[in-house]
Amino acid sequence: MIDRATTRTRNNDHQSTEKEKDMTDKTLFKPYTLGSLTLSNRVVLAPLTRNRAGAGFVPGELAATYYSQRASAGLLISEATQISQQGQGYQDTPGIYTQAQIDGWRQVTDAVHAKGGRIFLQLWHVGRVSHVDLQENGAAPVAPSAIQAGTKTFVNNGFTDVSAPRALELDELPGIVNDFRQAAANAVAAGFDGVEIHGANGYLLDQFLRDAANVRTDAYGGSVENRARLVLEVARAVVNEIGAERTGIRISPVSPANGVSSSDPQAQFDYLVEQLDALGLVYLHVVEGATGGPRDVAPFDYDALRKRFKNTYIANNGYDLALAAARLNEGKADLFAFGRPFIANPDLVERLKTGAPLADFNPATLYGGGAEGYTDHPTLAEASAQ
């Protein structure tokens, strides 16, 4: 026989838990202060490569539509955008190093701002994750060391092995730093609210951080401090150009994306984050686990990074409403990045808020093409009106 008092207690506990969960969920949808910006909520559009730039690697009207459709996110982070031709690794990805590209991105930022959104541009140099067909005069891609990545790239309308890279000369590194600095200035000229330095997913800056990709014996290789040197020089240059309140960075401490690995990720990234904090960057965007894969791919203490960084911590990888609400309630993160769920759900914030079902995307339309699978996903309101 079940005791009625026990039943009432259980019911009250359940109601209390549901109430607490409801309150926690709702805090995800309240405004948040990021530097000098007020975000409408804590949901972030993660960078998503879609390979739809036009001639001259210029984002067009489709991109303006795509981003404005998702402007209800508290913060939008653009697809990775190369800082130079040398920095390109995939076909039809946009750049931010010509006036035409700046003008193209201005259409995007105007469209997002017209809907009350906030948007940062992700600054990208792919390093060794490239192909000779994308490089000027068919040159070899560059890397910290002449070690070919065990990965593929999207070029000539298909996936193929990346090309063998050459090691960057010491006197070339200031030019890389300057390209990031100039790209940040160009982003501000294009109307972006700030920039995110791409230091994740096995691209150039991450390659310098990882000792399996970086076997240099000069000031940029060997020790934890040396391997972090280029990342910190880039961050300092961008901060000096556009201000710390407009500068964020993305890292992926244990992600094996694009064939990188590290023998000492905790020591490497604890040090890096301490130094980034000293520069006052507005946010730290962390891919927790394998990019687009298991969160527990390797042991790592993300709370250690959180403790070392006083400004905003953006958590990324495999988040849904329940996990985001739990991590927020625990004080483990401030903002939460959602990637693929945003592809087929331009109104993802509303769907999360109301508990509405999420639509699925078509994998065949992820990379390249036109409006199909890009700007033709209906919102809940549009779907109900059909």
Q: Which stretch of DSSP H or E encloses residue 235?
A: helix 229-242
206 burial (CB, 10 Å; 0-12 / 13-18 / 19+) is: buried
Is the distance from CB of 234 to CB of 205 less than 8 angstroms?
yes
| Cα angle value 175/126/50 (rounded, 5°) | 130
353 burial (CB, 10 Å; 0-12 / 13-18 / 19+) is: middle
Report the length, in residues, of the chain.
386
Q: Catalytic one among 203, 220, 283, 319?
A: 203
Q: Which stretch of DSSP H or E encloses residue 343?
A: none
Task: Clarify whether 203 is annotated catalytic.
Answer: yes
The DSSP bridge pattern shows strands 37-39 and 32-34 to be antiparallel
3-class DSSP assignment, residue 341: helix
Inter-CA distances, 145 with 170, 208, 370, Å = 11, 9, 37
What is the spatial distance between Cα 348 and Cα 351, in angstroms, rounded to a whole number?
A: 5
Q: If you count DSSP H runs as helices and E runs as strands, how many of each does the chain have, helices first?
A: 12, 14
CA dihedral 174, 81, 78, 187 (to 10 degrees): 60
What is the spatial distance between Cα 355 and Cα 337, in angstroms, rounded to a whole number?
A: 18
Catalytic residues: 203
